[in-house]
Amino acid sequence: MSQNKEVIKVEHVDFDYDGHLVLEDITLTVQEGDFMGVVGPNGSGKTTLLKIILGLIHPLKGKVQVFGRTPERGRHFIGYVPQHAELDASFPISVMDVVLIGRLGQAPMIGRYRKADRQAAEEAMQEAEISDLRSRRFGTLSGGQKQRVLMARALVGRPELLLLDEPTASIDGRVEQDIYHLLKKLNEKVTIVLVSHDVGFISAYVNKVACVNRRLVCNPADHMTGDTIEACYSGPIHMLKHTCEL
Q: Phi and psi of 240, rounded to 5°?
A: -90, 105
Pick out residues in 68-87 that bind other proteins (CB under 8 A).
75-76, 78, 80, 82, 87
For the chain, state the CA radius of gyration. 18
Pick out residues in 196-235 that bind other proteins (CB under 8 A).
none
Name the minimum Å distance from CB 203 to other proteins.
Answer: 29
Name the minimum Å distance from CB 237 to other proteins.
Answer: 31
Q: Going residue by residue from 168 to 187, which x/- string records binding to other proteins, judged by CB under 8 A?
A: --------------------
Dist CA 80 CA 190 (whole Å): 12
DSSP single-letter state for residue 45: S
Nearer to other proteins, 89 or 221 (CB): 89
**# residues contacting other proteins (CB under 8 A):** 31
Dist CA 25 CA 217 (whole Å): 11
Out of 10, 23, 52, 54, point to the residue binding other proteins (CB under 8 A). Answer: 54
Name the minimum Å distance from CB 16 to other proteins.
Answer: 17
Q: Phi and psi of 105, rounded to 5°?
A: -65, -35
Distance of CA 78 to the CA centre of its chain: 9
Pick out residues in 95-134 that bind other proteins (CB under 8 A).
97-98, 100-102, 104-105, 107, 109-113
Which residues contact residue 189 at a Cβ distance below 8 angstroms, ignoring those fewer than 6 apart?
none
Dist CA 81 CA 228 (whole Å): 28
Residues near other proteins, by CB under 8 A: 54, 56, 75-76, 78, 80, 82, 87-88, 90-94, 97-98, 100-102, 104-105, 107, 109-113, 135, 137, 140, 153
